[in-house]
Structure 1
Amino acid sequence: MSTSPKIIIGSLDKVDFPEFSLFNLPCKIDTGAQTSAIHCHRVRLIEKDGVEIIAFKLLDPKHPEYNDQEYRTHDFEERSIKSSNGHTEFRYVIRSPLILFNQTIETEFTLADRERMKYPVLLGRRLLKDRFMVDVSKKNVSYQQKISNAS
């Protein structure tokens, strides 16, 4: 069975979320996390025409890419997630495409309060598996490739 070669990714990079009109968001590559996460606030469940919808805002108002946009989707679920401190908590999980190394990848993100974290986006093992190999000595490999292709 042949597998395609894995792309080398560093410990940090920048990703695009075209669905949310958010670009060059700093992210941390975390092989300890199974599911990727994105910082959000004002998460609320609403019911519209008998369908449960989740509404949320991404990033913090002080973040340079913050756009004060409320996003809504009916395509979500609530899951038990083990956090970095070892506690299990329930989080909402959405699916969204992101762009990394000029590839659009559909993946799951937990909607998490990452306000105290340095990076608003965390990329976990589910996204990395079979695609990337992490070299912690490197940073912003995808972003550097993106800007060099743009020139």
Structure 2
Amino acid sequence: MLIVGWQERVDLPLLGLSNLKAKIDTGARTSALHATDIATFDRDGLPWVRFHTRFDDDAHDTDVECPVHDRRDVKNTSGIPETRIIIQTKFRIATRLWKIDLSLTERTEMKFRMIVGRTALRGHSILVNPGKRNLTTMPPAKRRKH
């Protein structure tokens, strides 16, 4: 059993994104990734999506392209359903790596640019301690140099 806090650092290696501050949110079914300038296009007859994402206010946007996995109605933070593009990618927390579905949505005004929902955690022997954070890694500012 891996015990994680309500906030952890995670990686999305297939998207080239690492050390992302994410909220582990068991109240959310679907995981969400901050995305702007979302545009779909065809590549070799298959639907793909291109978007920008940013995780630190002083960082530059990262451009990402990947196949579209699905489109689903997902309730936003206000409880209003909206149709979102869903991508599938690899997700790493601590030393564990598995595939998850991520909905793409604008989260600029949100404190966390990524939400890890309960569907992503189900079946992976994860226990969330809501009173702790960063149990799997220390945030960058607190990491010690050896």
TM bucket, shorter chain: 0.7 to 0.9
Q: Name 1:3's counterpart in structure 2.
A: none
Q: What value does the CA root-mean-square deviation take over the aligned residues? A: 2.5
CA contact (8 A) 1:60 1:115 kept: no
In the alignment, structure 2 segments of 5+ residues that lack a partner are: none
C-alpha contact (below 8 Å) 1:40/1:57 kept by paired residues: yes
> Which residue, 12, 25, 32 being the options, matches 2:27?
32
When normalised by structure 1's length, the TM-score is 0.82
> Secondary structure at 2:20's aligned position in 1?
strand
Q: 2:96 aligns with which of 76, 100, 103?
A: 103
Other-structure match for 1:53? 48
Q: Which amino acid aligns with 2:84?
A: R
Q: Which amino acid aligns with 2:49?
A: I
47, 62, 75: which is aligned to 1:82?
A: 75
Contact 2:54 2:62 in 1 (8 A): no
Tell me which of 121, 126, 137 is aligned to 1:143. 137
What SS is found at the alignment partner of 1:141? coil
Alignment correspondent of 2:107: 114
SS at match of 2:14: helix
Matched residue type, 1:53 = W
SS for the counterpart of 1:46 is strand
Tell me how far apart the structure 2 counterparts of residues 8 and 127 of structure 1 sit (CA, whole Å): 15
Question: How much does 1:61 deviate?
Answer: 8.0
Q: Which stretches of structure 1, 4 residues or longer, exceed 6 Å deviation after superposition?
A: none
Unaligned runs of 5+ in 1: 1-5
Higher helix residue share = 1
Equivalent-residue separation in structure 1 for 2:9 and 2:100 (angstroms): 16
Would you say how many aligned residue pairs link Structure 1 and Structure 2?
Answer: 143
8 Å contact 1:24–1:143 — kept in the other structure? Answer: no
Between the aligned partners of 2:45 and 2:23, the Cα distance in structure 1 is: 38
Q: More strand by proportion, 1 or 2? A: 2
Instruction: Indicate the percent of aligned positions where both proteins have the same amino acid.
Output: 27
- Separation (CA, whole Å) in 1 of partners of 2:43 and 2:16: 24
Partner of 1:123: 116
> Are the structure 2 counterparts of residues 53 and 13 from structure 1 closer, same or farther at C-alpha, using a change threshold of 3 Å?
same
